[in-house]
Amino acid sequence: MPKNPKIRKVLVIGSGPIVIGQAAEFDYAGAQACRVLRQEGIKTVLVNSNPATIMTDKHLADAIYLEPLTTQTLRRIIALEKPDGLLAGLGGQTGLTLAMQLTRDGTLEKYGVKLLGSGIDAIERAEDRERFRETLAEMGQPVIPSATAEDVESCLKIADEIGYPVIVRPAYTLGGSGGGIAQNQDELSQIARQGLDLSPITQVLIEKCVSGWKEIEFETMRDAAGNVIAVCSMENVDPVGVHTGDSIVVAPALTLADREYQMLRSAALNIVSAIGIEGGCNVQFALNPDSFEYAVIEVNPRVSRSSALASKATGYPIAKISTRIALGYTLDEIKNDITGKTCACFEPTVDYVVVKFPKWPFEKFAGASRRLGTQMKATGEVMAIAPSFEMALMKAVRGAELGLDTLNAAPLSDAPIRERLPSSRRSNPASAWTRSLTLPKSTAGSCTSCGGLRSLKISSPAA
């Protein structure tokens, strides 16, 4: 379908302050969105609280407001500018949360502003932990034993029922903020209280921990007509239990057999279609390395950190295409900027290896814990491209400016390696509950050997 002619002025919510989990990746996406809007002849109004960004350049928007990103500020700007549409899916979690609040309080309806891209129902299906779990169950997708809670007492009750360890996942947060892995009641009480405080809707998901499983991501793109593609697959070198922002990530996924890849790709496309996403979307899976069991971790109904990595790794401009889809175009109507010939409905082919290597600011925070978990701690990252994984990894190590050109770092302690490893890494807590995982009929009973490279092992000299 052609561009919606009713959209003549669009309000873009920027990325806000640079914090862990929401930094330059969203400035990159927002700047791309502003360029597309101007190319389409649409008047652009940008709201961002951070002047140190590319998107706040005067050449990228017709009107720029350097204001706090709050609902009060946005109501005032909407009343003044009277935009036809609101683009919130390219400013990270901040923009998405604000759009939800403005929809619920009736501001968008009052001023006749259309929420562009994924609709309110799709956002709620992906962000609300209870609705997300229900949607997966309706589809027959594997569901990790879990339940939502809105107070600490309910969290403790749920954990007693499903068994420790558990993962706490707050709703409508970024970078795993407020979440964590709890091994007992004391740890759960502390993490749950923090997660409930940080969740805008005071809701957390208590989920059975599957630490040790592979973490696989698919970056997808879908339009309003139902056309959907998988832009890129990505594999975390670290297992489930370490936030993807703190993990070395490889694109495309290297250790999946074709059967595993097709299984997860099909699941990702089906999930995105069922939720009703319009634009870029990131789907994360946990995959048992010893079988074909898998489970859906979460879905981000917006452009994410992984979107920037996938865009640069494949050359597929996810932010630009998401913006055009939000304006009403379908994938077959959008020309690929890189090839100049094909349309955006073709999946890119990657015949090289891309490695993302995170960097942590531990030298600036000497007293901070170096233990990685479900809360993101990295403040930067390096991307390297090479013909092989080994070459890309070494390029990334050198580019991270760690003072190293190999992985042979000096240990932080002289203690034996097993004493330096956290107790949770010495065992596989996921193995005790694998038989209780709900599998779709298409994969049930199919856990047979498929050959090929099963896992990627890198020795870690320092814990």
Question: End-to-end CA distance of the chain, in Å?
Answer: 54
CA distance 63 to 75: 16
Residue where one domain finishes, among candidates 190, 208, 226: 208
Structure-block tokens of residue 103:
């929809």
Q: Kind and range of the H or E element at 204?
A: strand 204-208
The answer to whether residue 28 is domain-embedded is yes
At residue 428, the pLDDT reads: 47
From the centroid of its chain, how far is CA 450? Answer: 29
**Is there a cis peptide before residue 165, judged by omega within 30 degrees of 0?**
yes
CA distance 104 to 98: 10
pLDDT in tens, the chain (463 residues): 567 888 999 999 987 777 766 667 778 888 889 999 999 999 999 999 888 788 888 888 999 999 999 999 999 999 999 999 999 888 777 888 899 899 999 999 999 999 999 888 998 888 887 888 889 989 999 878 888 888 999 999 999 988 888 888 888 776 567 788 888 999 899 899 988 888 888 888 888 888 889 999 999 999 999 999 999 999 999 888 888 888 899 999 999 999 999 999 999 999 999 999 999 999 999 999 988 999 998 888 888 778 888 998 998 999 999 999 999 999 999 987 777 778 898 899 899 999 999 988 877 877 777 888 777 888 888 999 999 999 999 999 999 888 888 888 777 778 887 777 665 444 444 433 333 333 333 333 333 333 333 333 333 333 3
Whether residue 369 is found in the same domain as residue 259: yes
Residue where one domain finishes, among candidates 165, 187, 208: 208
CA distance 405 to 400: 10
Q: Who's near 22: CB < 8 A, 6+ residues apart? A: 15, 16, 92, 93, 94, 174, 175
Whether residue 309 is found in the same domain as residue 354: yes
The answer to whether residue 446 is domain-embedded is no
At residue 227, the pLDDT reads: 95
Residue 62 vs residues 13, 35, 177: alpha-carbon distances, Å: 14, 11, 34
Whether residue 242 is found in the same domain as residue 202: no
The answer to whether residue 188 is domain-embedded is yes
Whether residue 293 is found in the same domain as residue 430: yes
At residue 176, the pLDDT reads: 62
The answer to whether residue 345 is domain-embedded is yes
3-state secondary structure of 290: coil
Name the nearest CA neighbour of 210 among 254, 166, 251: 166
At residue 95, the pLDDT reads: 84
Q: At what angle do helices 305-314 and 318-326 cross, to 10 degrees?
A: 110
- 22: DSSP letter: B
**Residue 340 burial (CB count, 10 A):** 7
Residue 414 class from Cβ within 10 Å (0-12 exposed, 13-18 middle, 19+ buried)?
exposed
Whether residue 203 is found in the same domain as residue 219: no
The answer to whether residue 453 is domain-embedded is no
From the centroid of its chain, how far is CA 7? Answer: 28
Q: Domain with 17 in it: what CATH number? A: 3.40.50.20
Q: Domain with 194 in it: what CATH number? A: 3.30.1490.20
Whether residue 202 is found in the same domain as residue 224: no
Whether residue 58 is found in the same domain as residue 203: no
Residue where one domain finishes, among candidates 208, 227, 246: 208
From the centroid of its chain, how far is CA 3? Answer: 28
Say if CB 318 and CB 307 are below 8 A apart.
Answer: yes
The answer to whether residue 2 is domain-embedded is no
Whether residue 370 is found in the same domain as residue 258: yes
Whether residue 272 is found in the same domain as residue 177: no
At residue 129, the pLDDT reads: 75
pTM: 0.81
Whether residue 243 is found in the same domain as residue 358: yes
Sign of CA dihedral 288, 292, 295, 298: positive
The answer to whether residue 159 is domain-embedded is yes
**Is there a cis peptide before residue 252, judged by omega within 30 degrees of 0?**
yes
Q: Who's near 299: CB < 8 A, 6+ residues apart? A: 126, 132, 271, 272, 275, 277, 281, 282, 283, 284
Query: What is the span of the domain harbouring residue 109?
Result: 9-116
Sign of CA dihedral 372, 183, 460, 288: negative
3-state secondary structure of 85: strand
CA distance 112 to 120: 15
Whether residue 64 is found in the same domain as residue 95: yes
The answer to whether residue 4 is domain-embedded is no
Whether residue 189 is found in the same domain as residue 303: no
Q: Domain with 383 in it: what CATH number? A: 3.30.470.20
How many domains are contained in the chain?
Answer: 3
